[in-house]
Amino acid sequence: MANDNKMNLVILGLLDHENLTGYDIKKRIDGSLRYFWKGSFGSIYPALSSLEENGLIKRVKSKSNASGRERIVYSITSEGRESLLGWLTESKSSNSLKYETLLKVYFGGAAGNVAAIATINEFEKEVEADLAVLRTYKDNLSKVLNERDHVFYYLTVTFGIETYEAYLRWCSEAKRILPDKKYMGNKR
Amino acid sequence: MANDNKMNLVILGLLDHENLTGYDIKKRIDGSLRYFWKGSFGSIYPALSSLEENGLIKRVKSKSNASGRERIVYSITSEGRESLLGWLTESKSSNSLKYETLLKVYFGGAAGNVAAIATINEFEKEVEADLAVLRTYKDNLSKVLNERDHVFYYLTVTFGIETYEAYLRWCSEAKRILPDKKYMGNKR
DNA sequence: ATCAGCATGTAAGGCGTTACATGATTCA
DNA sequence: TGAATCATGTAACGCCTTACATGCTGAT
């Protein structure tokens, strides 16, 4: 069973837009996809090999770089595009969220309000930083919205902005509620 | 490296509130924690064994059930509570989000607006269902907010409500934007 | 009688990360 | 010269899920 191997689909999705090397793919993942997906070289390169073996992608150039540095550019094949289409249209999506922050808030009673507030502040700071970046993405994208594919990128950015703003509202509300409550220590 | 083993902390956190069996722990995870954490028996029982071995939890009763059915109730030890406190106060939180829905939206250009809208509709339906449950949780919890620990549970619920409402706003907005755009098919 | 729920546990294997190994180029 | 970035890949290992194995109780 299994075949949760989403990295294959990520690679197919990226290659459907432009030809890329494994290294490029990593940069895309750490750039635009960062807010809703992660991936490391240790899963990219093996996925690339297996996709090539199965004929879903193929090499465009090897060692073609002017300097002679090794560089393998991949492109998607029609079989790969078919596979991508199948995923995009047929499968159920599974979103897996693991918020350690909320786990700590849930168990907050054990350590008291001060610790919980610290956890929330840490979260808030990260969200604020990410939100600032997302807003500049949005500004840039809204200028080129009529170009192919950009609406879809734009939507993932507005998703981030909408949810991050919700996080921030929650942070304020949580900090407003917490100090009012009686149980401040970890005594039982 | 490693020691991401959060299940240990989840168990410690739950046992700090009440004594539980492995089976009970699973129910708590599938109940209140479901919206921000997951876990299966295959990771609960081994974690329980290792926690006991290290003296962080201990057995309260075995086979104590009236009927003679095997039942192992665990409680947290002071060492366990210390470990829980350490996590709650000292460590950085890592939130890992993997939205397959957004991945599909991002790559939506390959399959066209119709497929993207279907993906969004599927997501919307799930969010609506979860939101309804969270709202009844909120109603129930707001009546007992002055009891120990309940503020913290309440906050995780309001987090869910705040973000799920943001999801829903985004779904509407996304569906409003998508049909307007020119690129409807998967032709290049 | 049968099915759902209670209850504990193991085994196999997929998924994915970190660290390592290697080496070139570019820029300060 | 040394650091950062480009670039590919492997090895070890941890995490976690699914499926299996087992058996009791209670309700219909």
Q: What is the mean pLDDT of each run of 10 residues along chain A (188 residues)?
A: 78 97 97 96 96 95 60 96 95 94 97 96 97 96 91 98 98 92 50
CATH of the domain at A14: 1.10.10.10
Quick one: tokens of A74?
């991949």
CB of B38 lies under 7 Å from some atom of strand D? yes
In a domain, B188, yes or no: no
Which of A155, A165, A177 to substitute to test the interface with B, most B CBs within 10 Å?
A155
Residues 69-128/B with CB within 7 Å of nucleic chain D are 69
Q: Is A103 within 8 Å of B16 when comparing Cβ atoms? A: no
Q: Which nucleotide is nearest to A70 (CA to C1')?
A: D7
* Residue B49 distance to chain A (closest CA, Å): 22
CA A153 / C1′ C13 distance in Å: 36
Long-range contacts of A155-158 (CB under 8 A, 24+ apart): A155/B105, A155/B108, A155/B170, A155/B174, A155/B177, A155/B178, A156/A32, A156/A35, A156/A36, A156/B102, A156/B105, A156/B106, A158/B170, A158/B173, A158/B174
Same domain, A80 and A116: no
Query: Is the same domain home to B134 and B163?
Result: yes
Residues of chain B in contact with residue A36, where contact means CB-CB under 8 angstroms, are 97-99, 102-103, 106
Mean pLDDT of chain B: 91
In the beta sheet, which residues pair with residue B98? A96
Residues near B101 by beta carbon (within 8 Å), at least 6 away in sequence:
A93, A95, B119, B120, B122, B123
Indicate whether A176 belongs to any domain.
yes
Cβ count within 10 A of residue A4: 9
Strands A57-62 and B57-62: unpaired
Can you give the distance from the CA of residue B96 to the C1' of nucleotide C21 in angstroms? 29
B78 at interface of A, judged by CB pairs closer than 8 A: no
d(CA B123, CA A10): 19
Domain end, chosen from B88, B116, B138, is at B88
Q: Is B61 part of a structural domain of the chain?
A: yes
- Least confidently predicted of A79-88, B57-66, B70-79: B57-66
Task: Please compute the mean of the pLDDT values over residues B107-111 and round it to a whole number.
Answer: 96
- What is residue A177's predicted lDDT score, i.e. its pLDDT? 94
The Cα-based distances of A131 to A31, A166, A176, A180, B165 in angstroms read 14, 11, 22, 29, 18
Q: Give B20's strand partners.
A: B74
- A12 with A84, same domain? yes
Q: Is B125 within 8 Å of B30 (Cβ atoms)?
A: no
Which residues face A75 on adjacent strands? Answer: A58
For chain A, the domain total comes to 2
Mark whether B80 and B115 lie in a shared domain. Answer: no
A69 CB closer than 7 A to any strand C atom: yes
* A77 CA, C7 C1': Å apart: 51
| Angle at the Cα of B58 from the Cα atoms of B52 and B59, rounded to 5 degrees | 115
**Could you tell me if B64 and B123 lie in one domain?**
no
The answer to whether A146 faces chain B, any CB pair under 8 Å, is: yes
Instruction: Report yes or no on B74 lying in a domain.
Output: yes
pLDDT higher at A70 or B21: B21
Instruction: Let me know whether A75 and A139 are in one domain.
Output: no
Among chain B residues, CA nearest to A124: B93
> What pLDDT shows up at residue B63?
64
B62 found inside a domain: yes
Does residue A95 belong to any structural domain of this protein?
no
Task: Give the separation between CA B76 and CA B82, rounded to whole angstroms.
Answer: 10
Q: Is the CB of A3 under 7 A from strand C?
A: yes
Last residue of a domain, one of A55, A88, A121: A88
Two structure tokens written together for B148 = 């120990």
Looking at the structure, do residues A105 and A176 belong to the same domain, yes or no?
yes
Using DSSP's 3-state secondary structure scheme, residue A101 falls into helix
Nucleic strand D near CB of residue B142 (< 7 Å): no
Return all residues near B24 (Cβ < 8 A) that are at least 6 apart.
none
Domain shared by A10 and A78, yes or no: yes
C16: residue with closest CA to C1': A43
Residue B147 sits in the same domain as residue B75: no
| Among A100, A102, A158, beta carbon nearest to B156 | A102
B76 in the same domain as B122: no
Say what the pLDDT of residue A181 is: 61
Q: What is the pLDDT of residue A182?
A: 57
| Any strand D atom closer than 7 Å to A23 CB | yes
Which residues form the domain of B75?
6-88
**Angle separating helix axes B78-90 and B6-17, nearest 10 degrees:** 120
The token pair at A61 is 């150039």
DSSP letter at B102 equals H
A49 CA – D27 C1', rounded, Å: 55
Q: Report phi then psi at B94, rounded to 5.
A: -120, 120
B149–chain A Cβ distance below 8 A for any pair: yes
Judge if the beta carbon of B53 is closer than 7 A to nucleic acid strand D.
no
B93 domain-assigned: no
Q: What length is written for chain A?
A: 188
Same domain, B12 and B68: yes
A69 and A112 housed in the same domain: no
Whether B146 is covered by a domain: the verdict is: yes
Which amino acid would we find at residue B143?
A: K
Q: Could you tell me which of B72, B174, B34, B44 has the C-alpha nearest to residue A98?
A: B34
The pTM of the full predicted model, rounded to 2 decimals, is 0.92
Boundary-marking domain end, from B88, B119, B140 = B88
pLDDT of residue B113: 95
For residues A149, A39, B103, B134, the Cα torsion angle rounded to the nearest 10 degrees is: -150
Q: Which residue of A has its CA nearest to B146?
A: A181
Reported as a single tens digit per residue, the pLDDT across B29-44 is 999 999 999 999 999 9
**Residues A72/A62, Cβ–Cβ less than 8 Å:** yes
User: Is A116 near chain B, with CB under 8 Å?
Assistant: yes
Mean pLDDT (whole number) for B159-175: 98
At A103, the amino acid letter reads: L
Q: B152 vs A116: CB contact, 8 Å cut-off?
A: yes
